[in-house]
Chain A
Amino acid sequence: TSVVMAAVCGRGLLAPLSGRLLAGPRSPIRSVAAAAAAAAAPLYDVVVSGGGMVGSAMAAVLGHDIHFHDKKIALLEAGPRKEYDRMPDSYSNRVSSISPGSATLLSSFGAWDQVCSLRLKPFRRMQVWDACSEAMIVFEKDDLDDMGYIVENDVIMSALTKQLDAVADRVEVFYRSRAVGYTWPLPSHSCDTSPWVQIELADGRRLQTKLLIGADGHNSVVRKEAEIKNIEHRYDQSAVVATLHLSEATDNNVAWQRFLPTGPIALLPLSDTASSLVWSTSHEHASELLAMDEESFVGSINSAFWSNVNHSDFIDAAGAMFRSAISLLKPSGTAVRQLPPSIAKVDPESRAMFPLGLGHATEYVQHRVALIGDAAHRVHPLAGQGVNLGFGDIACLAHHLSAAAFNGSDLGSLKHLLKFETERQRHNVSLIAATDVLKRLYSTRLTPLVLLRTWGLQATNALPPVKVRI
């Protein structure tokens, strides 16, 4: 994490001055294709590369922007079109926790209504606790607002597809189209080379654009081709996902997360009878979980949430003592620990695993290029933030692009792109670093660290200002 901070701060310090000092090195110098060939390719104002949740939402937000009314936008997606009129009865195993801020963004262009008409599950409360002690922290809003929503990724994609259709005159979506090559312009040109970014698709078609937005995931091709350095770290963990059925129906409006020494296990509500599992654990354990029969799998989950095998008397006593101290100072600062629902069944075929890692691009922007979503930053799912960071990127970038369009500016100009980068890096780096620290802190059984995090969690639970910030 210190490496991440150093890399980001270095760029952050240089940014305001670099405009005056470094004209060249910002963008990679590559030879530009012949002007004649380039001239034939259609020219777009913005091309978004990557049609996942973040890329599609970016294209949709711009397409619905009033100042982009006469602009041409293209969205490149390697896969096929995804749309549901009605969801299948079973739940998909890939879900996201959508924050209220993200919901606001989605409703700004009509996608949230689409999501609500399909399906989603609001939750009011989040309980996070340690397997090695009794310490826990509960998040809930004082007013009866929802804390967040658990939505299947397919539902979000379907909503976004519908909203893209609504602005099809402005946004052209290229399905089953993969970009295989990018050619970058020189930043200040005074000769006959094309000033635009050239894009070559797998089927040989070419596009030109004034601004390329890379939303192509943590293995971003845009980022690699732009030669933007990426700080990467592979966690020795994989996440196991599955769709689970509860033993008995319940309100199910709480999100549960327990930190085991091997990694956090989370239960995210889908309906009154179903929840989604996200269990981050070692690669070996993850493979075992996938291989074992359903009964053993369900047993492992229940035991992970309910068993106290990792407690030690010492920690329990220390924790209890701290808790009574807090209750003297702040009577309302200790809450009752609720027990998560027990699991009865798992959906067949719903078990899957994928590796986890950390990533952060040292630069989010270059001349005529911007990175958003996982292409810019990749985070551990323990904080439930991944896609919300991407939506936050979209809100910020769209704000700056809209203002630039209303000022008649060149959309690919670094001036406003840098403002986006500064704002988002400032926001994202602390969150990514904190998530990484939490992941490491909770990956150990060592008593001093357990004590530290136990008291830390109990203290944080008692302090409203800190909790609100989180």
Chain B
Amino acid sequence: QLSLFRLTVKRLLSTPRSSVDSKEMKKFQLLAHKWWDEEGEYSALHSMNDIRVPFIRDTLLNMSSNYHLGNPLSGIKILDVGCGGGLLSEPLGRLGASVTGIDPLEDNIRTADQHKSFDPVLAKRIQYKSSSLEEIVEESMETFDVIVASEVVEHVADLEMFIKCCSRVLKPEGSLFITTINKTQLSYILGIVVAEKIMGIVPEGTHEWEKFVPPEELERLLESNGFSVKTVNGMLYNPLSGSWSWMESTSVNYAMHAVKSGAQGESSPTDAPSEVEREQGSATAGTAA
């Protein structure tokens, strides 16, 4: 699977326009209980953790000066939008963050809650809620240090509104991490034809090429809504080894890190490519202490 099946769809009566797409929801309903089978339908998402967790972790470590031994993300409040079964929330929780995971599909939230319940440390650090992003905006203005929206924006109905909501719930100078699929010929061939129809890495019909988001467009939307894009890096999935790696080209999958402008409209300077280069080195590079 080249993408997370999370973005789901329920139309909510209270919000007239929603970023959630009802057709998308139906697709994920059937697979709600299959999240935690590492070798099953979601195996590519499980292995994506091997690059997206270090990416998030190291970017945040670079930006902060505190380091808590054994808990690199301690004290950081993260919102995981479209968390699905909690595949990304759990590793972030294990690294010490306080995570709120939201997903419009109740079955996903139920699976996620059940899975974390066996680990008392995670059960305390992670809270799940069945909700869309718009629904929590009012009560969560400028609450979160970090938002992760991994494999989500390619399922969203209204991307600009989604980004605006992200901006409202993020603290100033907070980070937004997005991973998604580019809209290119190559992504059509690999992401739809090969992944869905030929190799069955992703169940057929999961993705619609029309909704893929080119990085230029995502960057434009982010910059015009108060974000400053710091890093863009291409990702590649190897179906033979079942593993992900970083690559120069963003023609298929890519990850983006953006920072919300501070109160004065300044955002913290960071070196874009070198941070992500560090991912490719040893994962234990973060022994800053």
Chain A: which residue is nearest B73 at the CB level?
A408
For this complex, into which size category does the number of interface residues on chain A fall? 20 to 34
Q: Mark B61-83, 1 if CB is under 8 A from A, else 0.
A: 00000000111100000000000
If the complex has contacts A190-B111, A194-B118, A195-B118, are A69 and B69 also in contact, measured as CB distance less than 8 A? yes
Which of A70, A190, A410 lies at the interface centre, i.e. has the most chain B CB atoms within 10 A of its CB?
A: A190
From B40, B57, B90, B118, give the contact of A23 (CB < 8 A).
Answer: B40
Q: How many angstroms between the C-alpha atoms of A372 and B234 in the bound complex?
A: 39
- Is the beta-carbon distance between A43 and B38 smaller than 8 angstroms? no
Q: How many angstroms between the C-alpha atoms of A67 and B72 in the bound complex?
A: 9
Contacts of A20 in B (CB 8 A): 39, 43, 242
- Is the beta-carbon distance between A407 and B39 smaller than 8 angstroms? no
Q: How many angstroms between the C-alpha atoms of A66 and B114 in the bound complex?
A: 30
Q: Mark A284-326, 1 if CB is under 8 A from B, else 0.
A: 0000000000000000000000000000000000000000000
Q: Mark B45-66, 1 if CB is under 8 A from A, else 0.
A: 0010110011001000000000
**B188-196, B223-231, B279-287 - interface stretch:** B279-287
User: Residue B26 at the A interface, CB < 8 A?
Assistant: no
Which chain B residues (232-289) contact chain A, with CB distance < 8 Å? Answer: 241-242, 282-284, 286-287, 289
Q: How many angstroms between the C-alpha atoms of A344 and B284 in the bound complex?
A: 54
Question: Is chain A's binding surface mostly helix, strand, loop or mixed?
Answer: loop
Nearest CB of chain A from residue B227's CB, rounded to whole Å:
26
Q: State the interface size on chain B (CB cutoff 8 A).
A: 38
Contacts of A415 in B (CB 8 A): 38, 47
Contacts of A195 in B (CB 8 A): 118
Chain A: which residue is nearest B50 at the CB level?
A407
Chain B: which residue is nearest A399 at the CB level?
B284
User: Residue B36 at the A interface, CB < 8 A?
Assistant: yes
From B57, B241, B284, give the contact of A403 (CB < 8 A).
Answer: B284
Q: How many angstroms between the C-alpha atoms of A351 and B71 in the bound complex?
A: 51
User: Residue B119 at the A interface, CB < 8 A?
Assistant: yes
Q: How many angstroms between the C-alpha atoms of A20 and B94 in the bound complex?
A: 26
- Given known contacts A196-B118, A407-B53, A408-B49, what 12 new A-B pairs fall within 8 Å (CB)? A20-B242, A66-B287, A69-B71, A70-B70, A189-B36, A190-B111, A402-B284, A406-B95, A407-B54, A408-B57, A408-B90, A409-B53
- Show the binding face of B for A, using Cβ within 8 Å: 33-34, 36-40, 43, 47, 49-50, 53-54, 57, 69-72, 90-96, 111, 114, 118-120, 241-242, 282-284, 286-287, 289
Ranked nearest first, the 9 interchain pairs of A and B with the lowest CB-CB distance are A69-B70, A408-B91, A188-B37, A408-B94, A69-B69, A70-B70, A408-B95, A403-B283, A23-B39
